[in-house]
């Protein structure tokens, strides 16, 4: 097991006035970002460029995934003003491509799908040309909940598969591999014009052949876009990093994914679901 981060995982520190502007705006509008909650290694770069992945439905998750830094517990009820605040943030940042994600809300009957739909609709009201990408939880496999989001017509629906099925009991004990694949498949069956996207981490103990089978499984759902990144443990109490994957291996995975038919593939140690999202459509 490797404990020291290799040189290719060292991140340059970015600082600027724009960075502080984004922080202050998010606090004023009572908004969260997955960039902050999940300790994303690219946060300084993205914030200094006035971009962020906005996280709705609070910052407390009802799941117990062992890879994730987001807080677990009992969430607050959805904020009815949130769709307006998100729209204000997008207007302030002058975003042309906005990514909206959330914690998993198993406490809500629709898993938070209604809030996603209201946010998407409010963003389209604000600017009919804005590209809306949503990174959604599995909604417990509820087709009616998923339908709410599909009907709001985001450009991209992303749902991360996260890891190979063998590691689900350790890494995603409350998730179901086939359920996540089914969600992606159902998006395409409902509206083929919506682009689907998924992502997973490596370095958790998976084998090369398992990664390739995972990519095949995603393509079998007609998934369009794929992201692959290095797992970084948020703390010693989280799932350990089993291996730091060399950039050359990431490039091989990228080439394999393209051969399998993905339209766009981002694969690298610091790649995350929403990193450079506007370049992948």
Q: Which residues contact 17 (CB under 8 A, 6 or more apart)?
A: none
How far is Cα 200 from Cα 215, in angstroms, rounded to an integer? 10
Q: Residue 5 falls within a domain, yes or no?
A: no
Whether 234 shows a pLDDT value over 90: the answer reads no
- pLDDT for position 225: 97
Q: Say how many CA atoms lie within 13 Å of 165 toward its Cβ.
A: 14
User: What percentage of the chain has pLDDT greater than the value 70?
Assistant: 83
Whether 70 shows a pLDDT value over 60: the answer reads yes
Q: Which run of H or E residues covers position 131?
A: strand 131-135
- pLDDT for position 8: 76
Question: How do residues 190-225 score in pLDDT, each as one tens digit?
Answer: 999 999 999 999 999 999 999 999 999 999 999 999
- pLDDT for position 37: 46
Question: How do residues 120-164 score in pLDDT, each as one tens digit?
Answer: 999 999 888 889 999 999 999 999 999 999 999 999 999 999 999
Reported as a pLDDT band with limits 50, 70 and 90, residue 275 is: low
- Residue whose tokens read 């709001």: 152
Number of domains composing the chain: 1
3-class state of residue 211 by DSSP: helix
Whether 1 shows a pLDDT value over 70: the answer reads no
The encoded tokens of residue 4 equal 């020291």
- pLDDT for position 187: 98
Question: How do residues 85-127 score in pLDDT, each as one tens digit?
Answer: 889 888 887 778 888 999 999 999 999 999 999 999 999 998 8
Q: Residue 191 falls within a domain, yes or no?
A: yes
Phi, psi dihedrals of residue 43, rounded to the nearest 5°: -60, -40
Reported as a pLDDT band with limits 50, 70 and 90, residue 32 is: low
- Residue whose tokens read 């004023």: 28
Give the distance from CA 118 to its chain's centroid. 19
How far is Cα 213 from Cα 74, in angstroms, rounded to an integer? 36
Whether 75 shows a pLDDT value over 80: the answer reads yes
**This prediction's pTM:** 0.89
Q: Residue 112 falls within a domain, yes or no?
A: yes
Q: Residue 42 falls within a domain, yes or no?
A: yes
- pLDDT for position 19: 58
How far is Cα 272 from Cα 36, in angstroms, rounded to an integer? 13
Best mean pLDDT range from 19-33, 77-91, 176-190? 176-190
* CATH at 88: 3.20.20.70
3-class state of residue 267 by DSSP: strand
Q: Residue 89 falls within a domain, yes or no?
A: yes
Q: Provide the residue range defining the domain that includes 54.
A: 12-279
Q: Residue 2 falls within a domain, yes or no?
A: no
């Amino acid at each position: 097991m490797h404990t020291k981060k290799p040189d290719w995982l060292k991140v340059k520190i970015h600082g600027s006035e724009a960075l502080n502007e984004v922080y202050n705006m998010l606090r004023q509008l009572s908004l969260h970002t997955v960039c902050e909650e999940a300790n994303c290694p690219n946060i300084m770069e993205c914030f200094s460029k006035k971009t962020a992945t906005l996280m709705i439905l609070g910052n407390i998750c009802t799941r117990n995934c062992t890879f994730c830094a987001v807080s677990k517990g009992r969430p607050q009820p959805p904020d009815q003003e949130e769709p307006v605040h998100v729209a204000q943030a997008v207007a302030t940042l002058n975003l042309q491509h906005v990514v909206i994600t959330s914690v998993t809300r198993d406490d809500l009957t629709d898993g938070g799908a209604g809030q996603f739909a209201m946010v998407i609709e409010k963003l389209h009201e604000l600017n009919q040309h804005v590209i809306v990408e949503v990174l959604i939880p599995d909604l417990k496999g509820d087709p009616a909940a998923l339908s709410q989001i599909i009907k709001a017509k985001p450009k991209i629906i992303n749902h991360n598969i996260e890891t190979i099925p063998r590691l689900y009991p350790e890494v995603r004990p409350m998730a179901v591999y086939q359920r996540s694949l089914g969600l992606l498949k159902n998006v395409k069956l409902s509206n083929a014009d919506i682009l689907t996207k998924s992502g997973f981490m490596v370095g958790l103990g998976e084998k090369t052949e398992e990664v390739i089978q995972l990519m095949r499984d995603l393509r079998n759902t007609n998934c369009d876009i794929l992201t692959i990144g290095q797992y970084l443990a948020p703390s010693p109490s989280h799932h350990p990093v089993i291996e730091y994957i060399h950039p050359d291996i990431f490039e091989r995975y990228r080439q394999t994914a393209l051969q399998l038919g993905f339209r766009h593939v981002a694969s690298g140690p610091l790649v995350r679901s929403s990193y450079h999202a506007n370049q992948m459509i």
